[in-house]
Amino acid sequence: MTDQNKPQDPDKAAPESPVTTRRGVRSFVLRQGRMTEGQKKAYDRSWPKFGLSREQGLIDPRELFGRDAPLNLEIGFGMGKSLAEMAEAAPDQDFIGVEVHLPGVGALLKEIEDRGLDNVRVYNIDANDVIDLCLPDGCLDRVMVFFPDPWHKKKHNKRRLIQPEFVQRIRRKLRVGGILHLATDWENYAEHMMEVMSAAEGFANTRGAGEFSPRPEDRPVTKFEKRGERLGHGVWDLLFRRTD
């Protein structure tokens, strides 16, 4: 979960990275942070078991997890604690996390080890590549995008992840009845999300037209969210169901 990480100016972005095969506008800028020693050790130990790659191509979730269970995808899990909490609280469900920043991947793998989880798998590539190259149509029960980079400057709004074209590609990967759950603490982005989702073909707001949802109990509250609440900041959740 990418919690309130302010995006760098794209004019100062790093060169094209192998984490993505897509050209053009990107919704992320790679931050060249180093893994801690604990994260690196967890990565070295656990990536061979829990890591997934673009080169593996289309996955078979039943083969991957060894069972037929509800499948959740979180895009941009940040340091992974909330994803690990959700997976631990729902052992009857399976989870795939996507994060481009390597320290976050190492942190999630450490959480997986510490909690003894076996229902999580991880991609360290652009979510667009995961959607286009790795996921079969109709395989997901829920997609979660929590606190993505808001790209709050107007000239950068085009870099926001939640756009009509992206939402329709997500729709194809959700089963009919599956849920797209978005959350942000930027009011302007919340309004943008609502506008995009309300106009999106094949989706219906679970709360009714134009309505935001209360935070579901199974979405953990992050430390940044708690800090924001103390400062009087709002948080907006949107839950939309695939209708066809």
Classify each residue of 176-192 as buried b or exposed e, where b means 16 or more C-beta atoms within 10 Å of its C-beta: eebbbbbbbbbeebbeb
Q: Which of 3, 94, 126, 149 is an active site residue?
A: 149
User: Parallel, antiparallel, or unpaired for β 51-52 and 140-146?
Assistant: unpaired
Q: To which H or E segment does residue 171 belong?
A: helix 164-173
Instruction: Determine whether 149 is an active site residue.
Output: yes
| CA neighbor of 98 nearest in space, from 128, 69, 71, 68 | 128
The 3-class SS string of 195-230 reads HHHHCCCCEEECCCCCCCECCCCCCCCCHHHHHHHH
Classify each residue of 208-218 as buried b or exposed e, where b means 16 or more C-beta atoms within 10 Å of its C-beta: eeeebbeeeee
Question: Cβ(207)–Cβ(198) under 8 Å?
Answer: no
Our CA angle for 140, 141, 145, nearest 5°, is: 80
Structure tokens at 228: 């924001």
Active-site amino acid positions: 149
